[in-house]
Structure 1
Amino acid sequence: MSICLIILPGPDTAITTKNTLMFGKTGGFKTTFGICCALMIHTIAAVAGLSALIVKSAFLFSVIKYVGAIYLIYLGVKVMASIRKSEAADRVGTTAVKSKTYKSGFLQGFFTNLLNPKIAVFFLTFLPQFLAPGHNTFIPFFIMGGTYLLLTAVWFIFYILLIDHVSSFMKKPSTERFVQAITGIVLIGFGLKLAIEKE
């Protein structure tokens, strides 16, 4: 079940795909590291009971949901806007736009995952099924959260290496801009879906 949720395409996959195609393995690994750091915070929050507070509070859940939706839409719009900047950069022969985006890969992965309330819901609805009632849940919950993080890291490393291996034919500027456009549309779509979805 966890594997299916990890490999199911979502905002994490979209942003990792875009950064890997544009900046190679290093860009993808930076994004994945950000995703894993966010998952660690989700794990700690679940163990400390903060995730339960968020899930039970309609207000807090809605705040995080809408902030996450706004961030995804912002990323999507930013990606779309960068296409025009990329075209201008190609004409004058500068890589400033790419350099700035490259450095933000970690933060994109981090906030995309951290601001997704569905991760908190998953940690509190799926993982507790494997906990023995009446026992201390701190260590088992932390181990399961760490296992989920490890599986996520392994999957994205494999995914990044696969994309990097087959992306040699996608290095043309026009192809990169097409990938950016698709990613922007996908991120905006995920943001709108998250905003209008009922809890």
Structure 2
Amino acid sequence: MTASLVSFSLAAALIVLLPGPDTLVVLRNLVRGGRRTATLTVLGVLSGLVVWVGAAALGLAAVLHASEAAYTVLRIVGAIYLVWIGVQSLRSRGSVPDVEDALPERRGLLGRGYGAGLATDLLNPKVGVFFVTFLPGFVPDGRPVGPVSLLLGAVFVLETAFYFALLLLLAGRITGWLADSRTRRRMDRLTGLVLVGFGARLAAEG
């Protein structure tokens, strides 16, 4: 269990570092509303992740109860998913979408602050798909799927919280770092190689 937890923590940390919609909406609100608005946005994002983690854990337990073969398929899909995002990272040229261009103005739907962060996660089905396909690959054989999935999900949420806390603390430096294409390119290459390695390992374990 310890080895699986360490492996998951490393893989999850790399995924958290890849800028996605969550990061973009936090940065947008940081620019527009300052640290307080950005902090509320982060809390909304984390709340959305908690909802998805709970739903994924219950769903995985139900799938295992219904069919072990189906659960094995999910493990393989999770390995493929890791390889895919690793390849996407390797193909990246180090560019980061502009915060203003990447997120259209949808005040009526997303609002600002907490609502924006929560809606960004809950209205993105890819988050749920991510947890359902990602978590099974790190649940050791013989361990209860539901509780272990919740534990792994909690690790992911905590790492995300730490990432955003660091981003808010060092807002100027980190936004500048994200904007530097050379630094991003190096980070993308390293992340891509490691994620492909994790995916290959999970596929081999199947």
Task: Give how far 1:42 is off.
Answer: 2.2
Aligned pairs for 1:121-160 within 5 A = 122=139, 125-127=141-143, 144-160=144-160
Q: Is the 8 A contact 1:43 1:146 kept in 2?
A: yes
Is 1:96 aligned to residue 101 of structure 2? yes
**Higher-Rg member (1/2):** 1
Aligned pairs for 1:6-21 within 5 A = 8-18=8-18
| Residue in structure 1 matched with residue 178 of structure 2 by the alignment | 176
**TM-score in terms of structure 1 length:** 0.55
Gap runs ≥5 in structure 1: 90-94, 128-143
| Residue in structure 2 matched with residue 83 of structure 1 by the alignment | 95
2: distance between equivalents of 1:64 and 1:153?
A: 18
Q: Is the 8 A contact 1:43 1:145 kept in 2?
A: yes
Aligned pairs for 1:63-78 within 5 A = 64=77, 67-73=80-86, 76=89
| Residue in structure 2 matched with residue 192 of structure 1 by the alignment | 196
| Residue in structure 1 matched with residue 113 of structure 2 by the alignment | none
Task: Give how far 1:109 is off.
Answer: 3.7
The aligned amino acid for 1:73 is G
2: distance between equivalents of 1:160 and 1:29?
A: 11
Q: Is the 8 A contact 1:72 1:188 kept in 2?
A: yes
Identity of aligned residues (%): 7
2: distance between equivalents of 1:28 and 1:164?
A: 10
Residue 126 of structure 1 aligns to a residue whose secondary structure is: coil
Task: Give how far 1:72 is off.
Answer: 1.8
Alignment RMSD (CA, Å): 4.3
Task: Give how far 1:36 is off.
Answer: 4.4
Task: Give how far 1:43 is off.
Answer: 1.8
Q: Which residue, out of 42, 45, 49, partners 2:60?
A: 42
Q: Is the 8 A contact 1:34 1:110 kept in 2?
A: yes
| Residue in structure 1 matched with residue 136 of structure 2 by the alignment | 119
Gap runs ≥5 in structure 2: 27-41, 106-116
Change (3 A) 1:52 1:185: same
Change (3 A) 1:66 1:108: same
1: distance between equivalents of 2:66 and 2:86?
A: 30
1: distance between equivalents of 2:94 and 2:49?
A: 18
Task: Give how far 1:63 is off.
Answer: 6.0
1: distance between equivalents of 2:54 and 2:185?
A: 26
Aligned residues: 167
2: distance between equivalents of 1:145 and 1:62?
A: 12
The aligned amino acid for 1:163 is Y
